[in-house]
Amino acid sequence: MRIEKTLSIIKPDIVKKNQIGEIINFLEKKGLKVVGMKMVHLTIQKAKRFYQEHQNRPFFEGMVKFMCSSPVVVMCLEGENAIKLNREIMGATNPHEAKEGTIRKIYGKNIEANAIHGSDSEEAAEQEINFFLKANYSINKIKN
């Protein structure tokens, strides 16, 4: 058993459709616990820093603009194998290629408006949680 933390972001397409609650409900029902959460409206500069690994990709500017088109909900999720489990629950990057029953299949519109972000490795999870939720008070210890 391996309890991990991962970073999740509910993207602007979901926020604009008033579906934040549905996504959180979906993640919780799959066994992921929300241990940190905040709503932020990213600046272009901050979104570029967050996605810097993609800075040379052709979609970079458009994707950054999309991520800044409304507030987003940033969450730290905790659970057994949370990083991999969250990626499975999310589904493939392109909603059209995502498996049935995944968040991106159900809620995603296209490869840009794909509903949700999730850390893809232990290193990314640690770095991304620090990026958004660094202060100790923003991650809680919850006893069941």
Binding residues for ligand ADP (CB under 6 A): 54, 59, 63, 93, 111-112, 114, 117, 120
Instruction: Please state the closest distance from residue 9 (CB atom) to ligand ADP, in A.
Output: 9
59 binds, among Mg ion, ligand ADP, none (CB under 5 to 8 A by kind): ligand ADP
Tell me the β-bridge partners of 80: 3
Nearest to ligand ADP of 1, 56 (CB atom): 56
* Least distance (Å) between residue 112 CB and ligand ADP: 4
By beta-carbon proximity to ligand ADP, the closer residue of 12 and 36 is: 12
Nearest to 140 by CA among 47, 62, 35: 35
* Contact (Cβ atoms closer than 8 angstroms) between residue 67 and residue 11: yes
- Helices 20-29 and 82-90 pack at an angle, to 10 degrees, of 130
